[in-house]
Structure 1
């Protein structure tokens, strides 16, 4: 999926051979880290203080309850440590691959924000093989899988990408930016879940991708309108608090992303933007 070059792969990569639970436990010391989750439709990222990991042996998953992050350990197929450039600064990323996606979850230590020394020292304690950039790029190209759709669905997806300004979600985010709404956004997937609050400030439409940057500059999201086939608006309650929620689905009816705002008053307004 397109991303506005907040970071790029650099020259040296480690392929870790130890358990991913140990790696995540080691780096989550409570210092701020850039957490970036992806699925076929969407991306969601935020700088959060990662700590308090919980391992569910029965579900074979790990959870960071305070940060709204969970990962299926049994779905992990590879883990890499990558030296990268993050907004013109050298940084280090732990990139976790699941079936068909080389970077389902990226956890990035950022200079002057994260505990770089702790992050580096923790990764160095784990066994790993060194890969050259060419090896890693070749592996990514061979590993990545994107949805295969029929010609009719492809034509419809191409049309949605060609006219992103007509998508109801564009209007909904314009309204959220204008009225400074705080939104609860979440990646939905059998292998990764990540939820964070953000207040949208800037929106970009490029190649059929909706990009949002948060007001505080610490969070971002992207939605591929080609994959986003349907949206459904529902009223829900979380911890007895009312929310209006938008669920985004692909053409097979699989949910990939959720956006929610406090209160049920958004229901009629958001529905009117879908007509």
Structure 2
């Protein structure tokens, strides 16, 4: 199927139907993306039809995603301009979240996406209307004039953020992190062994096959703390980062404590 001929406008899906999330978990391999104010995590995964739920929470255990079902405000299927080869993306919008959680379906899953949209279609929604609806469920982040200049400067010098040398150490040493990106309504967890790092306007790392990508906005990630913790009888180094609004946005951890002292020095030098 030519993806250019599918989803010319967004489609609202009947997410309140009892079987919708189970069907979504069964569409096959996909790219799952979650983003908060300062951090974005995307990974190729296959939910494998595994979905667990309670009265308020839902889990896709094989993909590392959990979310507050009670805060799910709407679901739309649409084309993503930056994913021209993909026939579409199913986006879950939550009350209070600035960005939807996206399930991008690759070409091999086109038929499954077409059937999902056909079975759960509620109606068309023009792009402008979708943007208006989204702006009504969350307060947009608008920095003041003086902060905008600081934001531009920090993005231009992403290498000055303490996470830049921390992640560079991971690339050089072949370290594997457990990575957790959280919002008010979701938690997305993956393992990533950074193999490449890019500091052009953001801090971006991906693994060797580019199956997992972590992107950090150095201007909006305000503070970084490095500590150690004993988890399941194992000592781990834990890196916690909060955004400008004080919300925990990212947690990285790995076994051992041999890197903790050096990484604390990076934070001290950067004033984080």
Distance 1:117 1:240, change over 3 A: farther
Taking structure 1 as the reference length, what is the TM-score of the superposition? 0.84
Q: 1:177 is matched with which residue: 171, 182, 189?
A: 171
Is 1:38 the equivalent of 2:35?
yes
Runs of 4+ in structure 1 over 6 Å off: 141-144
Partner of 2:64: 68
The secondary structure found in structure 1 opposite 2:140 is coil
The secondary structure found in structure 1 opposite 2:20 is helix
Partner of 2:78: 82
Partner of 2:210: 217
**Cα distance in structure 2, aligned partners of 1:236 and 1:199:** 20
- Asked whether the equivalents of residues 182 and 188 of structure 2 are also in contact (C-alpha less than 8 Å), the reply is yes
* 1:103-252 aligned within 5 A: 103-112=99-108, 115-137=109-131, 139=133, 145-149=139-143, 156-207=150-201, 209-252=202-245
Structure 1 unaligned spans of 5+: 1-8
Q: 2:23 is matched with which residue: 21, 26, 31?
A: 26
Taking structure 2 as the reference length, what is the TM-score of the superposition? 0.84
- Asked whether the equivalents of residues 223 and 241 of structure 2 are also in contact (C-alpha less than 8 Å), the reply is yes
The secondary structure found in structure 2 opposite 1:229 is strand
Is 1:259 the equivalent of 2:260?
no
Q: Shift in Å at residue 119 of structure 1?
A: 3.3
The secondary structure found in structure 2 opposite 1:174 is helix
Once the two structures are superposed, residues 112-167 of structure 1 have per-residue CA deviations (whole angstroms, 9 ceiling, x without a partner) of 3xx43233313321141112445445555676643345666555544433321111
Structure 2 unaligned spans of 5+: 1-5
Instruction: Please say which of residues 125-134 and 196-205 is displaced more in the overlay.
Output: 125-134
Once the two structures are superposed, residues 55-77 of structure 1 have per-residue CA deviations (whole angstroms, 9 ceiling, x without a partner) of 111xx110122322101112122
**Cα distance in structure 1, aligned partners of 2:160 and 2:135:** 33
- Asked whether the equivalents of residues 27 and 123 of structure 1 are also in contact (C-alpha less than 8 Å), the reply is no
Partner of 2:90: 94
* 1:5-16 aligned within 5 A: 11-16=8-13
The secondary structure found in structure 1 opposite 2:117 is helix
Partner of 1:6: none
- Asked whether the equivalents of residues 10 and 84 of structure 1 are also in contact (C-alpha less than 8 Å), the reply is no
RMSD of aligned alpha carbons: 2.7
Distance 1:33 1:39, change over 3 A: same
Once the two structures are superposed, residues 250-272 of structure 1 have per-residue CA deviations (whole angstroms, 9 ceiling, x without a partner) of 24432111111222212112112
State the number of aligned residues.
262
The secondary structure found in structure 2 opposite 1:129 is strand
Structure with the larger strand share: 1
- Asked whether the equivalents of residues 186 and 193 of structure 1 are also in contact (C-alpha less than 8 Å), the reply is yes
Distance 1:171 1:76, change over 3 A: same
Once the two structures are superposed, residues 90-125 of structure 1 have per-residue CA deviations (whole angstroms, 9 ceiling, x without a partner) of 32211011235464200111113xx43233313321
**Cα distance in structure 2, aligned partners of 1:102 and 1:126:** 24
